[in-house]
């Protein structure tokens, strides 16, 4: 008879895996990829180092899953915004501003996800993450072109790549561990984050919006 794991054993194994991922995420939030070592993850999770390797064959694989898990949550949040009852430009502005604001809530983790040098496996997961966000933006741009809000002079996938590259690049300085912004957990800091989110979102919209003169012309067309 083949051995079958009991429900209790399966639950314990899943619990261990969840604890490992949570511990790894916390350590990355505190010190980035370089500071998060497998032994530290094991200690934080309350298990032996060897146990970590039962679930993840290497540090790179473990942290690639951390990146994928956290990133998927961000993609899900942005995707939810796209189904709101709003114009395409309003949707784009909300998506970009939301991304910026959420990143600034945990700048050390966001910096690791977006820009910090890392192992090949982690970087590959990062590229998948960026592609998923680009797809969200592409959908918005395509809708905006169909409604006449956004210029049709650029392909939606190219526009999406430029927009995503732009707002992520714009965040590198504010998110950097060398920046003092991330240590100012005050009302002033929150105001700075709001301003940053607004400015980056405005620039993203301006890159694809139909010029104002054209918008006025469209509004004057007979219905």
d(CA 213, CA 211): 6
- 37, 207, 60, 182: which is closest to 121 by C-alpha? 60
- In angstroms, how far is CA 83 from the centroid of its own chain? 18
Confidence of residue 213 (pLDDT cuts 50, 70, 90): very low
- The residues of the chain that CATH labels 1.10.357.10 are 63-220
pLDDT at 3 over 60: no
**Residue 128, pLDDT score:** 95
Q: In the numeric block, which tokens belong to residue 123?
A: 């970087």
Give the tens place of pLDDT for each residue, 161-203: 999 999 999 999 999 988 755 556 688 888 999 999 999 999 9
* Spatial contact of 74 and 99, defined as CB atoms under 8 Å apart: yes
215 exposure class (CB count in 10 Å sphere: 0-12, 13-18, 19+)? middle
Domain 1-56 is in which class? mainly alpha
| pTM listed for this prediction | 0.85
* Mean pLDDT computed over every residue of the chain: 88
Give the tens place of pLDDT for each residue, 10-27: 566 678 999 999 999 999
Q: In the numeric block, which tokens belong to residue 40?
A: 């530290």
Give the bridge partners for 112, in sequence order. Answer: none
Give the tens place of pLDDT for each residue, 98-121: 999 999 999 999 999 999 999 999
Confidence of residue 7 (pLDDT cuts 50, 70, 90): low
Sign, Cα dihedral of 130, 185, 28, 10:
negative
* Spatial contact of 56 and 119, defined as CB atoms under 8 Å apart: no
CATH topology of domain 63-220: Tetracycline Repressor; domain 2 (1.10.357)
- The residues of the chain that CATH labels 1.10.10.60 are 1-56
Mapping DSSP to helix (H, G, I), strand (E, B) and coil, where does residue 24 land? helix
């Amino acid at each position: 008879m083949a051995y079958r794991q009991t429900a209790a054993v399966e639950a314990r194994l899943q619990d261990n895996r969840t604890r490992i991922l949570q511990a790894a995420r916390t350590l990355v939030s505190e010190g980035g990829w370089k500071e998060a070592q497998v032994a530290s993850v094991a200690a934080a999770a309350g298990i032996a180092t060897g146990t970590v390797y039962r679930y993840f064959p290497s540090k790179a694989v473990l942290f690639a899953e951390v990146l994928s898990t956290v990133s998927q949550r961000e993609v899900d949040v942005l995707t939810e915004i796209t189904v709101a009852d709003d114009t395409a430009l309003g949707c784009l502005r909300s998506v970009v501003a939301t991304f910026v604001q959420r990143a600034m809530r945990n700048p050390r983790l966001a910096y690791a996800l977006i820009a910090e040098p890392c192992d090949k496996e982690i970087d590959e997961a990062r590229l998948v993450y960026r592609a998923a966000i680009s797809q969200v933006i592409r959908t918005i741009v395509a809708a905006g072109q169909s409604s006449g809000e956004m210029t049709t002079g650029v392909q939606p996938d190219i526009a999406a790549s430029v927009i995503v590259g732009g707002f992520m690049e714009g965040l590198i300085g504010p998110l950097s561990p060398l920046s003092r912004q991330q240590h100012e957990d005050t009302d002033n800091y929150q105001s700075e984050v709001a301003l940053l989110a607004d400015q980056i979102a405005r620039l993203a919209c301006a890159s694809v919006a139909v010029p104002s003169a054209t918008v006025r012309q469209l509004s004057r067309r007979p219905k």
